[in-house]
Amino acid sequence: MDASHSELDLHSTGKGEGETVGIALLGFGTVGAEVFRLLDDNADAFAHRIGGPAEIRGIAVQNKNKLRPGVPSELLTDDAKALISRDDIDLVVEVIGGIDFPRELVLAALNSGKSVVTANKALVAAHADELAEAAERSGVDLYFEAAVAAAIPVVGMLRRSLAGDQIERISGIVNGTTNYILDAMESTGASYDEALAEATRLGYAEADPTADVEGHDAASKAAIMASIGFHTRVKFEDVHCEGITKITADDIVAANNAGYSIKLLAICERLHREDGSEVVNARVHPTLVDKDHPLASVSESYNAIFVEAEAAGSLMFYGNGAGGNPTASAVLGDVVGAARNIVHGGRAPGENTYANLPIADFGEVDTRYHIDMEVQDRAGVLEAIAALFAQHEVSLRTVRQEDGEDTARLIVVTHAAKEATLENIVSVLGELDEVEAVHSVIRLGS
Amino acid sequence: MDASHSELDLHSTGKGEGETVGIALLGFGTVGAEVFRLLDDNADAFAHRIGGPAEIRGIAVQNKNKLRPGVPSELLTDDAKALISRDDIDLVVEVIGGIDFPRELVLAALNSGKSVVTANKALVAAHADELAEAAERSGVDLYFEAAVAAAIPVVGMLRRSLAGDQIERISGIVNGTTNYILDAMESTGASYDEALAEATRLGYAEADPTADVEGHDAASKAAIMASIGFHTRVKFEDVHCEGITKITADDIVAANNAGYSIKLLAICERLHREDGSEVVNARVHPTLVDKDHPLASVSESYNAIFVEAEAAGSLMFYGNGAGGNPTASAVLGDVVGAARNIVHGGRAPGENTYANLPIADFGEVDTRYHIDMEVQDRAGVLEAIAALFAQHEVSLRTVRQEDGEDTARLIVVTHAAKEATLENIVSVLGELDEVEAVHSVIRLGS
């Protein structure tokens, strides 16, 4: 018994059981307020789960004179840097948003030996390398579960649960705003503008919806998921990104008729080249998802992530991917993890980019196209178009023609081919005399 | 920089970066063989993820002379205890199954200061307290992700990701055999015996299917999920357990007609009593799940777990809940976690039963009943039955009558009431002159 106790002591190089972990909360918006409330309401439970009390000892806000009911005014400060540097702060929770200012604060915290929990996807996707290095140098933890799909534990699942497996593909609906808009278009027949207006009215879209509807938010999450899943540094700018602003009510109807839903997917893929080498790709684009696929039935602002791994097979995770409470849940799960390590010693698995796989150009990825075009309504047109595909060695899965007055509508679905080849075909299609207009090109998924 | 390096050293009290972790593998069935193969095939990846090589240094089997292609014979031993006690073994992986013998081995390993990864749900559900104490005394880790739903990371999600949240309810399909049988009955109209025979033929059911079809396997998993989720010791014998052997083809048809699928659910619930106190309940029984609920569409042998938490809201996890590869994936995720801690120092969150909530009797739980009975086809019958429910203050949601020759079939769906009250009503129903027979009683869920 004595021998085993000394073994225990050897492992316990943290502050020690029962000691208080001092927390600095940076930001007091929806998420920050929820984190404060839950930590306060459930103080006993947190103390038990951590191994000692967790105490918020300061809250950095822009305007410290704003009335915040329930928050002791002595906790508020507008000097975040001074708060971070205090000796009684062990753990910094960043829920400000933006990139440059939080980057400065998070780096300052890590460099001064304090663990950090952040919900900031843009920051992590842009600067993970620098932040991970700082955490590594100081021997502290950097947690960011809330940065991808809020309370859906994507980061923990990729980093820990599947740590003994090889991940082949991650595809997911990771942006609630765009899923809400696409789902509304599908269920009500609304145009993109109408659905966006409704989403804004209901609070699902921000006043400036650019980051969501152009796919930037999803691309940040794709970069994070690909980095962890493939043990390779994938940055925001490595992600091919197309948003949903060009999707029309017509596209949705055509997709529905063909048995698909249109979803904005973040896709992270390991590609096996013919020479045996591996590369990775991450991309975000509107995708036709077969209505039988579990991702097709993800409605409203819900998120879902579909993971394919060598041994585990297919796994799906589904839940609220945004919102104050679900985000606070993820932040607090991280707070317990980081605080436990501060009390008991030990560190969370950090960034690990040992595989360092090359990032494949989007052109190298195998995709399938659904092309909706207007063609001349005369003999020989289909032949000319089929010849173009054949010439590029792309075979067609289905061809559907609907006759109009002088022109006909032709919907072509291809088999898989290199993205670059398909892109090339579409640019040539547009110049054929037989083709009046290419209305839309949407890739098939999941 | 120097200061931060010494900080890092302070936290690193494990074997040290780059050192080899010696593993003893107990059992070499489907899962054991897969664990061995994957660790061997991906040795480099594991070394990077752990921080040092992981080496299987011995495999305990019943018959060490059996031919096992690809396995060096010097690794095989039929003396598991001697293997565990070897100085070059740091981590013990138990994939034998059963209870008594693995219990002895796992305790021996933990007591001698070795971390343990087990896939053994029966062992953990029966002896978690004793095992957790042994791990705690020695300051080592006990991991068992594979014990619940194989590669679906239920344990990690409850223990880590939701560590900052309050879990209210966990309901899940956690047994693939019974889900396969129920799904086959629903999709083909087969009887229970026919579906079981087919499941056995295809390898979804074991030669002796008792543990699966009687719900014991699901009850073990319910005990584990409830223990972690509610920070309370819930043992196998605390779980109310009913299997699927009495479900008839008729029940399935009646359920379908009413818009339900019948699923064997494991349900773990936090109950809020009127006096403000909390109790927990865990149970396994066939349940009518609304066809719109995500659990209703879980087909074949797939598993899915639906979690409701205070801040996170509803989350669902879906995947292969059994099989050699998915189970090996979960075991290896745990191996990476445990081996990382051996190399770097630190410990995983262990058992934490601080909340120690009382376990509610099943009779205290609110349930809803779907009662299918044969009644006399005459005036006044419905009145007598309705009076019985009213007398117990149970209100009815729907009453459907189908006329037969001399008798009528009456299907009653109740609103929520205490299980004990509903049980009592059913026992009285069976004795009413107006009731010829109570064909089936199935609870509504999820």
Which chain B residue shows the shortest CA-CA distance from A161?
A: B333
User: Is residue A325 less than 8 Å (CB to CB) from chain B?
Assistant: yes
Cα(A212)–Cα(A221) distance, integer angstroms = 12
Bridge-partner residues for B366, per DSSP?
Answer: B418
Residues in chain A: 446
Q: What is the pLDDT of residue A2?
A: 37
Check CB contact under 8 Å for B165 and A337: no
Q: What is the pLDDT of residue A446?
A: 63
Q: Is the pLDDT of residue A404 over 90?
A: no
Give the model's confidence band at A13: pLDDT under 50 very low, under 70 low, under 90 confident, else very high. low
Q: What is the pLDDT of residue B11?
A: 34
Q: Could you write out the DSSP letters of every residue in B381-395?
A: HHHHHHHHHHHTT--
A206 marked among binding-site residues: yes
**First-to-last C-alpha distance (Å) of chain B:** 55
Chain A positions in Cβ-Cβ contact with residue B137 (cut-off 8 Å): 1, 4-5, 8
Which candidate from B325, B340, B349 shows the least CB-CB separation from A313? B325
Which candidate from B317, B332, B340 shows the least CB-CB separation from A165? B332
Q: Catalytic residue numbers of A?
A: 221
Check CB contact under 8 Å for A352 and B49: yes
- pLDDT average, residue stretch A23-45: 96
Q: Three-state SS string across chain A, please?
A: CHHHHHHHHHHCCCCCCCCCEEEEEECCCHHHHHHHHHHHHCHHHHHHHHCCCEEEEEEECCCCCCCCCCCCHHHEECCHHHHHHCCCCCEEEECCCCCHHHHHHHHHHHHCCCEEEECCHHHHHHHHHHHHHHHHHHCCCEECHHHCCCCCCHHHHHHHHCCCCCEEEEEEECCHHHHHHHHHHHHHCCCHHHHHHHHHHCCCCCCCCHHHHCCHHHHHHHHHHHHHHHCCCCCHHHCEECCCCCCCHHHHHHHHHCCEEEEEEEEEEEEECCCCCEEEEEEEEEEEEECCCHHHHCCCCEEEEEEEECCCEEEEEEEECCCHHHHHHHHHHHHHHHHHHHHHCECCCCCCCCCCCCECCHHHCEEEEEEEEEEECCCCHHHHHHHHHHHCCCCEEEEEEEECCCEEEEEEEECCEEHHHHHHHHHHHCCCCCEEEEEEEEEECC
By the 8 A CB rule, do A172 and A218 touch?
no
Residue A44 φ/ψ, nearest 5 degrees: -65, -45
Q: Is the pLDDT of residue A329 over 90?
A: yes
Q: What is the pLDDT of residue B446?
A: 64
Q: Which two tokens stand for residue A257?
A: 């008729």
Q: What is the pLDDT of residue A100?
A: 97
- pLDDT average, residue stretch A297-311: 95
Q: What is the pLDDT of residue B301?
A: 92
Q: How far is A386 from chain B (nearest CA, A)?
A: 40
Q: What is the pLDDT of residue A8?
A: 33
Residue B208 φ/ψ, nearest 5 degrees: -105, 100
B121 marked among binding-site residues: yes
User: Is residue A1 less than 8 Å (CB to CB) from chain B?
Assistant: yes
Cα(B182)–Cα(B194) distance, integer angstroms = 11
What's this model's pTM, rounded to 2 decimal places?
0.93
Give the model's confidence band at A146: pLDDT under 50 very low, under 70 low, under 90 confident, else very high. very high
Q: Which amino acid is at A273?
A: R
Q: Are strands A260-272 and A167-173 parallel, antiparallel or unpaired?
A: antiparallel
Q: How far is B403 from chain A (nearest CA, A)?
A: 38
Check CB contact under 8 Å for A11 and B139: yes
3-state secondary structure of B58: strand
pLDDT by residue for chain B (446 residues), tens only, comes to 333 333 333 334 678 889 999 999 999 999 999 999 999 999 999 999 999 999 999 999 999 999 899 999 999 999 999 999 999 999 999 999 999 999 999 999 999 999 999 999 999 999 999 999 999 999 999 999 999 999 999 999 999 999 999 999 999 999 999 999 999 999 999 999 999 999 999 999 999 999 999 999 999 999 999 999 999 999 999 999 999 999 999 999 999 988 999 999 999 999 999 999 999 999 999 999 999 888 998 999 999 999 999 999 999 999 998 889 999 999 999 999 999 999 988 888 888 899 999 999 999 999 999 999 999 998 899 999 999 999 999 999 999 988 878 889 999 999 999 999 999 999 999 999 999 999 999 999 86
Check CB contact under 8 Å for A164 and B329: yes
Check CB contact under 8 Å for A354 and B48: yes
Residues in chain B: 446
Which candidate from B1, B330, B346 shows the least CB-CB separation from A137? B1
User: Is residue B165 less than 8 Å (CB to CB) from chain A?
Assistant: yes
Q: Is the pLDDT of residue A83 over 70?
A: yes
- pLDDT average, residue stretch A233-250: 97
Which of B89, B86, B12 lies closest to B51 in space, CA to CA?
B12
Check CB contact under 8 Å for B164 and A333: yes
Digit-coded pLDDT (tens) for A265-296? 999 999 999 999 999 999 999 999 999 888 99
Q: Is the ipTM of this complex over 0.95?
A: no
Check CB contact under 8 Å for A137 and B5: yes
Q: Which amino acid is at B393?
A: E
Check CB contact under 8 Å for B153 and A153: yes
Which chain A residue shows the shortest CA-CA distance from B36?
A: A164
By the 8 A CB rule, do B410 and B369 touch?
no
Chain B positions in Cβ-Cβ contact with residue A349 (cut-off 8 Å): 49, 336-337, 340
Which chain A residue shows the shortest CA-CA distance from B297?
A: A294
Q: Report the half-sphere exposure of A377 (CA within 13 A, side-chain side).
A: 9
From B15, B114, B221, B235, the catalytic residue: B221
Which candidate from A13, A137, A312 shows the least CB-CB separation from B10? A13
Structure letter (DSSP) for residue B146: G
User: Is residue A318 less than 8 Å (CB to CB) from chain B?
Assistant: yes
Q: How far is B55 from chain A (nearest CA, A)?
A: 14
Cα(A440)–Cα(A422) distance, integer angstroms = 13
Q: How far is B241 from chain A (nearest CA, A)?
A: 28
Check CB contact under 8 Å for B318 and A320: no
User: Is residue A90 less than 8 Å (CB to CB) from chain B?
Assistant: no
Digit-coded pLDDT (tens) for A159-201? 999 999 999 999 999 999 999 999 999 999 999 999 999 999 9
Q: How far is B415 from chain A (nearest CA, A)?
A: 28
Cα(A435)–Cα(B311) distance, integer angstroms = 54
List B residues 258-297 in contact with A (Cβ-Cβ < 8 A).
294
Q: Which two tokens stand for residue B7?
A: 């900080």
Which candidate from B12, B156, B314 shows the least CB-CB separation from A319? B314
Burial of A426 per CB tally in 10 Å (0-12, 13-18, 19+): middle
Which chain A residue shows the shortest CA-CA distance from B338?
A: A160
Cα(B167)–Cα(A113) distance, integer angstroms = 32
Cα(A39)–Cα(A284) distance, integer angstroms = 36
Quickly tell me which residue has 């904005």 as its tokens: A264
Give the model's confidence band at A17: pLDDT under 50 very low, under 70 low, under 90 confident, else very high. confident
User: Is residue A401 less than 8 Å (CB to CB) from chain B?
Assistant: no
A28 marked among binding-site residues: yes
Q: For each of the domains in chain B, give its residue range(s) and CATH number, in order of start.
A: 21-150+324-344 (3.40.50.720), 157-320 (3.30.360.10), 365-444 (3.30.70.260)
| B291 among known catalytic residues | no
Q: What is the pLDDT of residue B159?
A: 94
By mean pLDDT, which of A226-230, A357-361, B28-32, B318-322 is the weakest? B318-322
B33 marked among binding-site residues: yes
User: Is residue B152 less than 8 Å (CB to CB) from chain A?
Assistant: yes
Check CB contact under 8 Å for A318 and B294: yes
Cα(A137)–Cα(B4) distance, integer angstroms = 6
Q: Are strands A260-272 and A278-290 parallel, antiparallel or unpaired?
A: antiparallel
Which of B196, B167, B172, B166 lies closest to B184 in space, CA to CA?
B196
Check CB contact under 8 Å for B151 and A320: no
Which candidate from A4, A45, A160 shows the least CB-CB separation from B139? A4
B30 marked among binding-site residues: yes
User: Is residue B313 less than 8 Å (CB to CB) from chain A?
Assistant: yes
What residues have CB less than 8 Å from A182, skipping those under 6 apart?
A195, A244, A247, A252, A261, A262, A263, A264, A286
Q: Is the pLDDT of residue A235 over 80?
A: yes
User: Is residue A349 less than 8 Å (CB to CB) from chain B?
Assistant: yes
Which candidate from B5, B231, B336 shows the least CB-CB separation from A164? B336
Digit-coded pLDDT (tens) for A409-418? 999 999 999 9
Check CB contact under 8 Å for B333 and A8: no
Q: What is the pLDDT of residue B12?
A: 40
Structure letter (DSSP) for residue B297: G
Q: Which amino acid is at A166?
A: Q
Check CB contact under 8 Å for B137 and A4: yes
B52 marked among binding-site residues: no
Check CB contact under 8 Å for B346 and A111: no
B81 marked among binding-site residues: no
Which chain B residue shows the shortest CA-CA distance from A344?
A: B346
